[in-house]
Structure 1
Amino acid sequence: MAVAERAWCVVIPHHPRGARIARQRLTTELHAAVHPTLLADAVAVLAELVGNAVRHASPLPGEVIRVAWRLRPAGSDAETDRDTVEVRVTDGGAIEQPRVRTIATDAVDGRGLSIVAALSDRWGVDRDGLGQSVWAELSGTFDHERRESP
């Protein structure tokens, strides 16, 4: 059974509670569609990206952040035989370009993008005149017994 690519977009507050809202929505939408390990990694990456947007970037108009994710099931295109989840967090931008930092082992923060880089296949930053989007792609083997019909 082929399942088509699906995408979601959620607007959340530019506030730490926004990360919880984003995690809950992502989990609700994808829990039956992807393997639990892939879902856990996608949730962790999304939480890091939202946390970074709240901490380091300005909000979009309305004091919000836009969070989006896309599911490309295995076999939905010729490029992959694995499920792929892309998460994207769009904010009003930051003064500094998001980057992985080298930090001391006893530092209490600064590991967010290192976590994103470790869990994702690839990640990046897109900028336009309205702000910036930080995105990450994760892939994993599909758990066929968990899939539900759309």
Structure 2
Amino acid sequence: MPDFHRVNGGVDGGADGADAPAPGDLVVQLPGAPSQVARARGIVTDALGRDHPLHDDVVLLTSELATNAVLHTRSGAGGSFTVSVTSSPSVVRVRVEDAGSDGPPCVCRTGAQSTSGRGLPLIEALSHRWGFTRENGSTTVWFELLQAGVAAVAV
């Protein structure tokens, strides 16, 4: 039975972010090395373009998930991780699947002097919703950012 965790439940009534990548998603498997975190950021730029209104936030959050995959899972011990980016007119969704770890991802609170432990709290703070699944030895952490629409005002 898979472990599943979702935070900040969505309002769209659609599938949760843990679903498998869909056709049209940009999906790239990367070696579990620290140098690949920069490549994960580049995948976001390839998928969205630098002019996308959510580009910087998506790059930041993807970087956090890729770093976690390399530092805190078996991906960083000679394994790999996969980054998937989906974009629609209403939402950007990123999934990072890693080789798993002994425990689930932790939204741990750290002290002011700590040099790590802020990734998932940052994702929790900036994303519309996020969560993770653990199944068959791997963990997929995902987040969604909504694209804000500006309603036209009749004059």
Q: TM-score interval w.r.t. the shorter chain?
A: 0.7 to 0.9
The answer as to 2:113 corresponding to 1:106 is yes
Partner of 1:56: 72
Aligned pair partner of 2:84 in 68, 72, 97: 68
Shift of 1:28: 2.2
In structure 2, what is the Cα distance between the partners aligned to 1:29 and 1:91? 20
Aligned pair partner of 1:17 in 32, 35, 39: 35
Q: How many residues align?
A: 128
Partner of 2:25: 7
Contact 1:7–1:68 (Cα < 8 Å) also in 2: yes
Per-residue CA deviation, residues 35-86 of structure 1 (Å, 9 max, x unaligned), is: 1xx11111101000000010000129x721111011121xxxxxxxxx3111
Per-residue CA deviation, residues 124-143 of structure 1 (Å, 9 max, x unaligned), is: 11111141100011112269
Contact 2:83–2:95 (Cα < 8 Å) also in 1: yes
Aligned pair partner of 1:34 in 36, 48, 52: 52
The answer as to 2:56 corresponding to 1:45 is no
Shift of 1:95: 1.0
In structure 2, what is the Cα distance between the partners aligned to 1:25 and 1:89? 12
In structure 1, what is the Cα distance between the partners aligned to 2:50 and 2:120? 27
User: Percent of aligned pairs with the same residue?
Assistant: 33
Partner of 1:93: 100
Per-residue CA deviation, residues 99-143 of structure 1 (Å, 9 max, x unaligned), is: 211111111111111111111111111111141100011112269
Backbone CA RMSD of aligned residues: 2.3
- Where 2:74 maps in the other structure, the secondary structure is coil
In structure 2, what is the Cα distance between the partners aligned to 1:102 and 1:33? 33
Provide closer, same or farther for how the CA distance between residues 32 and 110 of structure 1 changes in structure 2, counting only shifts above 3 A.
Answer: closer
Runs of 4+ in 1 over 6 A off after TM superposition: none
Unaligned runs of 5+ in 1: 74-82, 144-150
Tell me the TM-score normalised to structure 1 length: 0.77
Unaligned runs of 5+ in 2: 1-22, 151-155
In structure 2, what is the Cα distance between the partners aligned to 1:11 and 1:140? 26
